[in-house]
Amino acid sequence: EDVLAALDRLIYLLGTYDITTIRASLGMYLVCKYIHERTDVRVLLTGEISDELFGYKYTDFAPSPEEFQRESKKRVDEIHMYDVLRADRCISANSLEARVPFGDIFFVRYVMGLDPALKMNRHGIGKYLLRKAFERDGWLPQDLLWRQKAAFSDAVGHSMVDGLKEYAETKYSDAEFEARRQKYDYARPFTKESLLYREIFEKYYPGQAHMIPGFWMPNPSWPGCGVSDPSARVLANYGESGK
């Protein structure tokens, strides 16, 4: 109920129709709302930009270091329209402030200047280089340091995403979905969930879909990444993440 009640306002705050941004933002927005209303904490430490620099689940499928680097640069260049958009709006809308250490410009330049082969998953776990850097001196508990990554929109609970999909199914018949999605030539909705988000977006930002470069999805040109949902759950390497 809290998720559905927040959906309309959240899309207004975000100014996006992107599926994974909205899914992840729902969890983050509600957590930040709780922090604001129930605690005296006003400054948060957040881990945005580590994925863009060190890799997502899907970048395990990068066919070469050069491809990994190209994808990383693309994600960094567009971050203000996806992950950082989510963090900025969800946190600030609840009168909180964020500190983003991985966004330090000198750190970003340093990591982007590393040999991309060092950042690829060659050890059976993503972000190995970053994890290894924190292993010394026991800065983090071992079980936390080496646990599998789970995407935010998955880690907040599979039931939340499944519930959103089920709700969208009740909003449109198959015929209605097909007819209504045809209204959009740019970033055409391809699921009932994506149509639900797009129609709310258009209510507040009519005709402004081009301000987002499209749906955030794994690179479809890579083996293993030709998927129809942005969730890491649909990838073959998802494993134990988020369970």
Note the pLDDT of residue 242: 45
- The maximal CA–CA distance of the chain, rounded, in angstroms, is 60
Cα–Cα distance between 226 and 47 in angstroms, integer? 27
Cα–Cα distance between 158 and 168 in angstroms, integer? 16
Arithmetic mean of pLDDT, 205-227:
96
Q: What is the pLDDT of residues 171-209, one digit of tens each?
A: 999 999 999 999 999 999 999 999 999 999 999 999 999
Cα–Cα distance between 164 and 7 in angstroms, integer? 10
Note the pLDDT of residue 152: 64
Q: Say whether pLDDT at 108 is over 80.
A: yes
Q: Say whether pLDDT at 156 is over 70.
A: no
Q: What is the pLDDT of residues 74-87, one digit of tens each?
A: 999 999 999 999 99
Arithmetic mean of pLDDT, 114-127:
93
Looking at the chain, the whole-number percentage of residues with pLDDT higher than 90 is 83
CATH class given for the domain over 2-234: alpha beta
Q: C-alpha angle 22/26/31, rounded to 5°?
A: 145
Sign of the dihedral through C-alpha 115, 140, 49, 228: positive
Give the single-character DSSP code of 46.
Answer: -
Average pLDDT, the chain: 93
Cα–Cα distance between 141 and 52 in angstroms, integer? 24
Cα–Cα distance between 170 and 180 in angstroms, integer? 15
Arithmetic mean of pLDDT, 47-72:
96
Note the pLDDT of residue 187: 97
Contact present, 112 and 53 (Cβ < 8 Å): yes
Note the pLDDT of residue 234: 87
Q: Say whether pLDDT at 159 is over 90.
A: no
Domain ranges for the chain: 2-234
Note the pLDDT of residue 185: 96
